[in-house]
Amino acid sequence: MTRIDTHRWYEAVWHAAIAGALLIVPSRLLTAEPFWTLRGVTALLVIGLFVAYVTTVVSAYLLHRLTGQARPLLLLSFGGVALSILYVIVLSLPEPDFSRRVLLSGLALFATGVLVPVFAAWTWRQRILGMGIGAAVVTAATVVALLVASRNDEDAASLVSTIQTSRHTLRAVYHSDFLPPEAAPPVRGGAITGDPDGDGYILVRARGGVFRLSIGPDDELIAEDLSLQVPINGKEFEKDNGDTAATGNLRIADVVAVRERGATRIYVSHHYWNRDEQCFVVRVSGHALPAPGASAGERRSEWNTVFQSTPCLSVVQGRGQFFAGLQIGGRLLDMGAGKLLLTVGDHQFDGWYKPTNLVSDPAADYGKTVVIDTHTDTVSHFTYGHRNPQGLVRDAAGRIWSTEHGPQGGDELNLLEEGSHYGYPYHTYGTHYGSVDWPPGMAAEARETTRPAFAWVPSIGISSLVAVTDPSFSRWLDDLLITSLGAQSLWRAKLEGNRVVYVEPIHIGRRLRDISMRGDGDIVLWSDSETLIHLRPIQQIDDGAALFALRCGGCHSWSGHRIGPRLARLFARPIASAKGFDYSPGLSQLAGRWTEKKLDDFLRDPTGYAPGTTMSTAGVVDDEERDKIVAYLLALGSE
């Protein structure tokens, strides 16, 4: 074998190794599982980097054979083009959700695979030139990669943004990548609740790991692994049903934490697979937590089962899914005196998707809300006629509200009253998927059922809710905050008595699974991609908005010119530069852009700062008022 043949054989082995590493290494950095278990844009990146690399190598060698062009230059050229195409595809996706570690590790492997053969093939003089070319290509690819990664807010350690609503301005801090990687395939679920032992939270991940969270004054997030595992046997379920069922739907649904006998006890709702009988149930398991700061072995008890649904359900298809575990319901509400209220979804056993109608069976727990007495181990049904009740809360007036997934369309907000029937499967504002009717409703006789307080058509993918009792959110007091999955938004339901006056969507940009509100101006949201979003009202901006309306709103608006110019992008443009407005000489002669200091001086004494200005009103002499107006304009004026 000649030296050239040996060299090409070595190159072929090298490229094959790099291609294999592109499939193995990034996924191993993210999870302990192989690449084919990845999902979403992360899977697209891994496969896309592999395809781009193989395409680069094959194209470079084919074109070299056809034209005689130097292989190193072809590798560099095709590599840059392939990466550019891949990044353009990712950038074109709305709200891409992927791992930054996968992106950057894949880029490093790609660059190594292309550049090492390039430098090995060239002379020293060529390598000096190649180093410049290679550095330019790698730099450009890294810049684009970071641009792509900047779109991926989910994978940023801490992202801060301002969210404007109709009544409050919110500071949102997005915390991600703060938990250890879990084994794939990923499971959507998990829940969060306030920690009675402090001012933090208890988080249970979708696969059952338990953590204690605290948020510091500078928004730093601390996660303490409590070394607890909820007794959910997902691995056994996957082994027995992995070929037919959506095994990722076997998951944790909710958690509540209560003080009992001087200790904090958590109750977790989850699926459980009965391997002996090959059927599944919904369980509520309880466990006493160690005190904050205590070692993991201190004051430890075993998990105990306080509820198990009946009957045990087999994995069957019918019209619906083999395992409709996404319709677990599973929300928990602490009723006090040792009682828990639990929602139990129908798992599609409604007489339509599955031939058996357990929702209408008074002996079955599915499609019901259930009162569990943890002191006496007794269970009773509270309400009936539910499909997939996702949220549960008791407001300051003692009313119990629940959110519920309808079929296609028809997500509901219900006011629960003991003994009431809420219509399903005979009444819903939704339809069969892909249809325009709901067949059970058409075929059933008219029944006296309780209608929802509000319904969403089309669906928003409704999930959890809280009632606002925190005075820090004074303009939202007694309203309901409702999370959504599909709409990736928080919805505020304005209540007047039992009537919903309106709902306001507040876009968050994540699939929101759960919400908790402890007081002291804190709201936390838990997303399906394991991002924790911490919301606080920005009182200074809210006060500034009110002062702006009083002091400035008669002459100025954001969107268009009035007596004064529009204020949109105020801090992003030079002074007196809004198109279409005839400025006075006083402002036209000023140079530069607006800054906080310039705006503060102008508001204090308009005619003194800009002689000849037509803004002849008296200045805002109160320093605190001026600070709030400037803060408000700064928050919104650069949009």
Does 541-636 carry CATH code 3.40.50.720?
Answer: no
Find the mean pLDDT for residues 396-420: 95
- Among 150-164, 355-369, 579-593, top mean pLDDT goes to 355-369
Q: For the residues of 604-636, what is the DSSP string, one character each?
A: H-HHHHSTT-S--SPP---HHHHHHHHHHHHHH
532 pLDDT above the threshold of 70: yes
Tell whether the model's pLDDT for residue 505 goes beyond 90.
Answer: yes
State the amino acid at position 204 in one-letter form. Answer: V
Q: Is 576 left (phi over 0), alpha (psi -120 to 50) or beta?
A: left
Q: What integer pLDDT is reported at residue 98 of this predicted model?
A: 58
State residue 27's pLDDT score. 63
Question: Average pLDDT of 132-160?
Answer: 53
- Sign of the Cα torsion 31, 36, 37, 40 reads positive
pLDDT at 203: 97
pLDDT band at 1 (very low <50, low <70, confident <90, very high): very low
Tell me how far apart the alpha carbons of residues 237 and 398 are, in angstroms, rounded to a whole number. Answer: 39
The three state secondary structure string of 527-577 is ECCCCEEEEEECHHHHHHHHHHHHHCCCCCCCCCCCCCCCCCCHHHCECCC
pTM attached to this predicted model: 0.73
Mean pLDDT of 588-612: 85
Tell me the pLDDT band of 299, cut-offs 50, 70 and 90.
very low
Per-domain boundaries in the chain: 3-154, 156-537, 541-636
pLDDT band at residue 473 using 50, 70 and 90 as cut-offs: very high
Res. 307: pLDDT tops 90: yes
What is the crossing angle of helices 100-121 and 40-67, to 10°? 20
Task: Give the residue-averaged pLDDT of 387-402.
Answer: 96
How large a percentage of the chain has pLDDT more than 90? 42
pLDDT at 34 over 60: no
What is residue 581's predicted lDDT score, i.e. its pLDDT? 87
Segment among 11-15, 31-35, 280-284, 384-388 with least mean pLDDT: 31-35
Classify 156-537 by CATH class. mainly beta
- Assign 584 a pLDDT band (cuts: 50, 70, 90): confident
How does residue 3 score in pLDDT terms, banded at 50, 70 and 90? very low
Cα–Cα distances (Å) from 598 to 587, 606, 609, 610, in that order, read: 12, 11, 9, 11
What are residue 115's phi and psi, to 5 degrees? -75, -35
Indicate the pLDDT class of residue 156, thresholds 50, 70 and 90: very low
234 compared with 514, residue with greater pLDDT: 514
Helix (H) or strand (E) holding 490: strand 489-496
Residue 162's pLDDT is 83
pLDDT for the residue numbered 631: 82
Average pLDDT of the chain to the nearest whole number: 83
* pLDDT of residue 140 exceeding 80: no
Buried b or exposed e, range 112-150, using 16+ CB within 10 angstroms: ebbbebbeebbeeeebeebeebbeebbeebeebbeebbe
Quick one: pLDDT at residue 264?
92
Can you read off the two tokens belonging to residue 414?
Answer: 């219900």
Q: Is the pLDDT of residue 297 over 60?
A: no
The string of pLDDT tens digits covering residues 319-348 is 888 888 899 999 999 999 999 999 999 999
* Residue with the larger pLDDT of the pair 270 and 442: 270
pLDDT of residue 425: 92
Q: Going along 337-441, which residue ranges are E strands?
A: 339-344, 368-373, 378-383, 388-394, 400-405, 411-416
3-class DSSP assignment, residue 264: strand
282 pLDDT higher than 60: yes
